[in-house]
Structure 1
Amino acid sequence: MFSALRHSLTSLALSICCTLPALASTSPLGEIANQQTRHIATVFQGRMAGSPSEMLAADYLQQQFSQLGYQSDIRRFNTRYLYTTKDGHQNWHNVSASSVIAAREGVEPQQIIIMAHLDTYTPLSDNDVNNNLGGLTLQGVDDNASGLGVMLELATRLKSIPTRYGIRFIATSGEELGNLGAEDILKRMSASEKKNTLLVINLDNLIVGDKLYFNSGKSTPTAVSKLTRDRALALARQMNIKATTNPGLNAKHPKGTGCCSDEDVFDKAGIPVLAVEATNWSLGKKDGYQQLAKSKAFPDGTSWHNALIDNQQYLDKWLPHRIEKRSRDVVRVVLPLVKELAKAKQ
């Protein structure tokens, strides 16, 4: 029965894949990311780990990478999460999640990983459902179709550029359940693969936040931070793009990436990371968890997980042109950075 369902979902994903016109690398910077972000958010809304929409999104991404000439496959893993009802009962829900990996080898064995999570928030309680958090209608434009869109543009523009080091693109699932997809990826990496991973760049929540941030991991060596975080900030300044880094106001995350994103898994394993995000580390007591000033449109100062807010129509209305601008800004900084780090030959 599952095999038949899987076949029908794959067929549907392939038909959906053809609905988005092929985007050329000659498009203006950021345009591919903008269009892919909007497409993924609206066609694959409700991308909860293990859901049919998540499976379709994984198939779509795998096809996109394959069409670009990358070696690409889908990695599935089984997991579960605890759901709490309004009367306090807790039940385990089993899911089979799907992550996508695409790679192109370099001349040398070292690699740079560029990643973004593909799943949207899974409601963990009746309270979540009643507050429109997660669920089947959550588009997740900011969290995290935006990261996927930028990743696909980077893949498009790097596909024909020879590099000394390999580049691997990873779209993880289960991030919203506790970075489970990233943990699965790390667990499957060999000791040599871990050693040869020069950097993990994680793209997450790129639209709503007031400011663009580039943060190094707590375990990232200072020399690597200078070549990655500091170089990204320098590129941004050259292009008059407003960007900064975690000011270290929160004792729990002093000058680190923060909390609860996929890069944390690699940071804890001692692998250098660079987190790219849009938020506002100066607002609110929690520091880094409030994306923008509280207002009528954003009463909590956030959009995270809210199906009524984190969608294309709402963000276009209250943050006009923000999706296009942030897509362009992130690509303008990260693309030349990756070329430098991977030793591109042009």
Structure 2
Amino acid sequence: MRSILILFLMLIAFSCKQDAKQMVSMQEDVAYLAADSLMGRETGTSYEMLAASYLADRFKHLGLEAKGTDGYIQEFTFKPTLNPHEQAEVVEGSGTGTLTGRNVIGYIDNNAETTVVIGAHYDHLGMGGQGSLHRGGDAIHNGADDNASGVAVMLKLARDLREKNTNNNYLFIAFSGEEMGLLGSNYFVKNPTVDLAQVTYMINMDMVGRLNEENTLAVHGVGTSPVWKQTLFANNDAGLNIAEHESGIGPSDHTSFYIMDIPVLHFFTGQHGDYHKPTDDADKLNYTGMETIANYILNIITDLDDNEKLAFRKTKNESEDVPSFKVTLGVVPDYLYTGEGMRIDGVSEDRPAVKAGLQKGDIVKKMGEHDVTDMMSYMKSLSKFEPGQTAVVTVERDGKLMEVSVTF
């Protein structure tokens, strides 16, 4: 009798342990992935392998079916580069100078005719190097927002979608190699572990951890299907300020799926002063905001559960319209700003903006004789100036217009 009681108690303890693993919070997921012990999760390193193992374990205990080529893992070989003007490239087979990246893939099989792909990249910049904006030597780039935040939201969606919205299957992918040029997502679409013809749409989350006080959420890819615009606004119960972007092309993993004629949505809460720096840490994230975004995306998926396969629509590549310019103002634009002008989200040390006294929050209205009404007009204005040239820049600060002299 006693042995039966002990066995019963062990089973209860094991069950509780399993439930505890399934109920890991987004904050706990970010804390693990963005810890110093993972040394920035650079693609091809042993530390990224640790992160991949953690994610495979999370998928397992969430009840997801393994959908890689080796359990939850899909390996690919790539050749890194130290040339800032070249990207790393995926290669066939291993050899001298090659490294291995690992996508982590889990699946909810509802025996449906269509599949929704939900993805986020889990790699980051390691100790810095190419892509880092840090100027103080080697340091751990934890990448809490970029992109432990997206992975944490993806894991929450995996938990929330079990036995729910069963008219679709769900493929969850933690991509490797995004920072090196979308290596993992590009490899996956060329070597898919499900039939891409059955994929109805793809949702990507890259940097969703800094929802601001204005509740502004950028959504890219709105033009890639006729249903997106109506669906986005019909499900905005939280009163998010949606900054729409039509193009399916952008510097994140949704691009790889758009190129395969799959409708995409990419969610993004904006750049900030810690972007690609060692200061992008877990304690700076807005976890309540992440919860809001996760619920918003779940509402969208729920709304589309009884739809047939979504129609795909090609969009204009917005990046092709960006003019070339020889000078820089030395600011980080606020890509979430939806008002008139270009709002400054950060300024770089020892650059023209700082020397002229411009500050975070200033809204650029005019550069020389050129009006600035949005991001594109700002870039077009900037392209008119030459190094050494001085111009009067008009900005709005605290509701008042002021002029400063800027030397490029």
- TM-score above 0.5, yes or no: yes
Query: Contact 2:126–2:140 at 8 Å: present in 1 too?
Result: no
Query: Contact 1:34–1:323 at 8 Å: present in 2 too?
Result: no
Q: Deviations along 1:40-80, whole A, 9 cap, x unmatched?
A: 21253410101111101111111111111111210111002
Q: 1:198 aligns with which of 188, 197, 200?
A: 200
Q: Which has the higher helix share?
A: 1
Q: SS of the residue aligned with 1:170?
A: strand
Match of 2:46 in 1: 52
How far 1:186 sits from its partner (Å)? 0.2
Q: 2:297 aligns with which of 313, 328, 334?
A: 334
2:231 partner amino acid: R
Q: Work out the CA distance in 2 between the residues paired with 1:76 and 1:68.
A: 22
TM-score in terms of structure 1 length: 0.70
Q: Work out the CA distance in 2 between the residues paired with 1:187 and 1:302.
A: 35
1:304 partner amino acid: Y
Q: SS of the residue aligned with 2:235?
A: helix
Matched, 1:306 2:269: no
Q: 2:255 aligns with which of 264, 280, 290?
A: 264
Query: Contact 1:82–1:124 at 8 Å: present in 2 too?
Result: no
Match of 1:79 in 2: 78
Q: 2:33 aligns with which of 31, 40, 62?
A: 40
Q: How does 1:39-188 map to 2 (within 5 A)?
A: 39-42=32-35, 44-72=38-66, 73-84=72-83, 94-121=98-125, 125=129, 128=132, 131=135, 137-161=140-164, 163-188=166-191
Q: Work out the CA distance in 2 between the residues paired with 1:132 and 1:201.
A: 36
Query: Contact 1:99–1:171 at 8 Å: present in 2 too?
Result: yes
Q: Work out the CA distance in 2 between the residues paired with 1:37 and 1:343.
A: 33
1:265 partner amino acid: S
Query: Contact 2:185–2:253 at 8 Å: present in 1 too?
Result: yes
Query: Contact 1:71–1:104 at 8 Å: present in 2 too?
Result: yes
1:71 partner amino acid: E
Match of 1:207 in 2: 209
Q: SS of the residue aligned with 2:286?
A: helix
Q: Deviations along 1:104-147, whole A, 9 cap, x unmatched?
A: 122322100000001002578579596258x6611111100000
Q: SS of the residue aligned with 1:83?
A: coil
Q: SS of the residue aligned with 1:265?
A: helix
Match of 1:318 in 2: none
Q: SS of the residue aligned with 1:245?
A: strand
Q: SS of the residue aligned with 2:113?
A: strand
How far 1:305 sits from its partner (Å)? 1.4
Relative to 1, partners in 2 of residues 1:124 and 1:306: Cα closer, same or farther, differing over 3 Å? closer
Larger Rg: 2
Number of aligned positions between the proteins: 272
Q: Which moved more, 1:157-166 or 1:207-216?
A: 207-216
Q: SS of the residue aligned with 1:175?
A: coil
Match of 2:91 in 1: none
Percentage of matched positions with identical amino acids: 25
Match of 1:7 in 2: none
Matched, 1:235 2:235: yes
User: Structure 1: which 5+ runs fail to align?
Assistant: 1-17, 25-30, 86-91, 247-254, 280-290, 292-300, 316-321
Provide the aligned C-alpha RMSD in A.
3.1
Q: Work out the CA distance in 2 between the residues paired with 1:132 and 1:233.
A: 43
2:280 partner amino acid: D
Query: Contact 2:165–2:302 at 8 Å: present in 1 too?
Result: no
More RCO (CA 8 Å, sep 6+) = 1
TM-score in terms of structure 2 length: 0.60
User: Structure 2: which 5+ runs fail to align?
Assistant: 1-16, 67-71, 85-95, 308-408
